[in-house]
Amino acid sequence: MSFVKFEQKGPVAILTIDRQEALNALNTQVLCDLDEAITKVEQTDDVHAVVITGAGRSFVAGADIGEMKGFSAIDGKKFGVHGGGIFLRLENLSKPVIAAVNGFALGGGCELSMACDIRLASEKAKFGQPEVGLGITPGFGGTQRLPRIVGVSKAMELILTAKTIGAQEAKEIGLVSEVYPPEELMDKAMELANAICANAPIAVAESKRCIRMGMQTDIATGAAFEAEAFGVTCGTEDKNEGMGAFLEKRKEKNFQNK
């Protein structure tokens, strides 16, 4: 992987997009590297959470305009299907994904952050979907995820004006959960990831699946997903360990992902 660094710290995988000469812009190779990194996360059994960030002063400044400028209509659709499919893989990953947005998260960068489960931002972070100002639409899920996260009216405003917002406004509209000083961002992201990893992995994965699936359907169907997940977790050894620790008033829990 030329442009995505994979580092594991305990049960947490850190994926760092590192194409600093282009502010980490997403070209075909970066997307392929990200796809490969997701596969590595899936295949690493002792990774239970993921943090995605960008190297240098940018998270991801967008998709690569230099590459896109020569696209035909067919090329554009293929690029959108490619990137959008990778972001769907990330969204549907069984392991929770935290975006640590350290700088520019514009266009494809904003879309990448929205494919993550939780977004934390540096005070220096900037968010936006500037595509209509370039004569195109968002192509990696921006028209679909942004209204689901911040509501239709605000999403329409941000996408149709192509404006950029700061981290504090992003928090106010619900696009990010928390805003931190730049020097604290990764520590806070790791703290959150490790807090998630302290819980039963199967229960965490099933809870994420229920939320993701439930957001795409009616509440009755979502409740059925939840009941199924509850049943699955009740049949695990980790349920016995977690409830045993509670009843025995033990702080220590030894979850085995079984």
Q: How far apart are CA 143 and CA 87, in angstroms?
A: 13
Residue 53: what are its φ and ψ, rounded to 5°?
-145, 180
Structural contact between residues 83 and 25, judged by C-beta atoms closer than 8 angstroms: no
Q: How far apart are CA 182 and CA 142, in angstroms?
A: 25
Residue 123 a catalytic site member: no
Q: How far apart are CA 135 and CA 156, in angstroms?
A: 16
Pairing, β 12-17 against β 4-9: antiparallel
The length of the chain in residues reads 258
56 CB burial (10 A radius; 0-12, 13-18, 19+):
middle
Q: Which residue has the tokens 């979850």?
A: 255
Residue 189: what are its φ and ψ, rounded to 5°?
-65, -40
Q: Which of 21, 91, 111, 183 is catalytic?
A: 111
Residue 131 a catalytic site member: yes
Q: Which of 67, 91, 131, 206 is catalytic?
A: 131
Catalytic residues: 111, 131
